[in-house]
Amino acid sequence: MRDLKIPAQRHPEKAHRPDNAQPKKPDWIRVKAPGGAGYNETRRIMRENKLVTVCEEAGCPNVGECWSQGHATMMIMGDICTRGCTFCNIATGRPETLDVFEPGRVADSVAKLGLNHVVITSVDRDDLDDGGAEHFAQTIRAIRHRSPETTIEILTPDFLKSKPGALEIVVAARPDVFNHNLETVPGLYPTVRPGARYFHSLRLLQRVKEMDPHIFTKSGIMVGLGEERQQVVQVMDDMRAADIDFLTIGQYLQPTPKHHRVDRFVTPDEFASYEKAAFGKGFLMVSATPLTRSSYHAGDDFARLRAAREAKLANG
């Protein structure tokens, strides 16, 4: 049995990589250690329902704040990914068989937490013919049945190796927000996201909007991996050409010495500049701060996203 708490077993594909120094975090990156009654209650509900959260598996710095408010991003289809991206702390390997009861347990947790907005993500499942598309659809339907007023945001894999029609299965379940992260600029894909293809991911999001224009589309990138500002601006333009509504930009933080190195810590002023540029390009919603993550403040951001669309339609 693998022990996923041991880095060499969690990331066997990285075990022989040379160590990268982990620079000291600047003051604007530091967060409080998780704890408190709200945090513990969220943790209890996750454990009772045997659910995995990306908050824990990816080592998100915002876990304390989000869980204390009863917000957690649930990760379906297990905790082992078939990809080995160099930035990611999710364990890599051969996943277990899908749990057919998981969609019901997720829906039960959403109801117990009383969520107005929920984010569902997953590992990559290249071992499945549909990449897990039907499992996503079943989870969406189960939540709709138990909590019809809850808005649903999904953060999906790229379905790169899936059979034709996989994306259509997910879109037909009608999530409120379809998120798929580009993660970085195209020039860094060979070293940061070697199993993925930039233009495939971009086209995936464009197809979602073509199939159902009512679904909000969302994508995010990390900065501090070695990209240049002009490359980030070009990604913004590519996203807008694909009609993506919502952009998130956050600072890359290195999980272990075996992961991709932090090139630099981007300052809050630079993030503010990125946000201004992105709004200028026509995104309905932008979140660009050092601690921004795909699901950070997702519920509040969804309310603003919906209001921005209504205002745009009202103004012609």
Give residue-wise pLDDT tens across range 263-277. Answer: 999 999 999 999 999
- Is 278:232 a contact under the CB 8 Å cutoff? no
Question: Residue 76 carries which DSSP code?
Answer: E
Q: How far is CA 73 from the centre of its chain?
A: 9
Phi, psi at 117, each rounded to 5°: -145, 135
Q: What is the pLDDT of residues 104-146, one digit of tens each?
A: 999 998 998 888 889 999 999 999 999 999 999 999 999 999 9
Do residues 136 and 170 touch, judged by C-beta distance below 8 A? yes
Look at the block and give the residue holding tokens 């984010």.
119
> Known binder of ligand: residue 294?
no
Q: Is 219 annotated as a binding-site member? A: no
The annotation status of 68 as a binding-site residue, yes or no, is no
Can you tell me whether residue 220 is helix, strand or coil? Answer: strand
Give the CA angle between residues 144, 147, 153 to the nearest 5°: 60
Task: Tell which CATH architecture fits domain 32-315.
Answer: Alpha-Beta Barrel (3.20)
pLDDT one-digit tens code per residue, 227-266: 999 999 999 999 999 999 999 999 999 988 999 999 999 9
Is 85 annotated in some ligand binding site?
Answer: yes
287 is in an annotated binding site: no
Please give the structure tokens belonging to residue 76: 């379906």
Verdict on whether the full-model pTM lies above 0.85: yes
Distance CA 313, CA 316 (A): 5
CB 177 within 8 A of CB 246: yes
Any known ligand binding at 81?
Answer: yes
